[in-house]
Amino acid sequence: MLLRVQGISKSFGGNSVLKDISLCFEAGQIHALIGENGAGKSTLMKILAGVYIPDSGRLELDERQVSWRMPAEAQGAGISLIPQELNLAEQLTVTANIFLGIEQTRWGLIRDDECRSKSEQLITEYSLDFGADDRVAGLSPSQKQQVEILRSLVRAQKVLILDEPTAYFSERESEKLYRMMRQLKERGLSLIFITHRLEELEGLADWVSVLRDGLCVISVPFGETTVQEILSLMVGGNVETVFPPKERSQQSLLLSVHHLSLPGYLHDVSFDLYS
Q: Read off the pTM.
A: 0.82
Domains in the chain, start-ordered, CATH in brackets? 3-274 (3.40.50.300)
**pLDDT given at position 200:** 87
Q: How many of the other CB atoms lie within 10 Å of CB of 56?
A: 12
pLDDT per position as a tens digit, 238-259: 655 555 566 655 678 889 999 8
Provide mean pLDDT across the span 5-26: 95
- Report the relative pairing of strands 79-82 and 159-163 from DSSP bridges: parallel
**pLDDT given at position 264:** 65
pLDDT per position as a tens digit, 53-74: 999 999 999 999 999 999 999 9
**pLDDT given at position 269:** 87
Provide mean pLDDT across the span 82-110: 79
Q: How many of the other CB atoms lie within 10 Å of CB of 57?
A: 16
**pLDDT given at position 262:** 81
Distance CA 88, CA 84 (A): 12
Burial bucket for residue 270 (CB in 10 Å: 0-12, 13-18, 19+): exposed
Residue 275: band (very low, low, confident or very high) from pLDDT cuts 50, 70, 90: confident
pLDDT at 105 over 70: no
Angle of helix 141-153 relative to helix 171-186, nearest 10 degrees? 20
pLDDT per position as a tens digit, 160-200: 999 988 887 888 888 888 999 999 999 999 999 998 888 88
Nearest to 133 by CA among 94, 163, 86, 180: 94
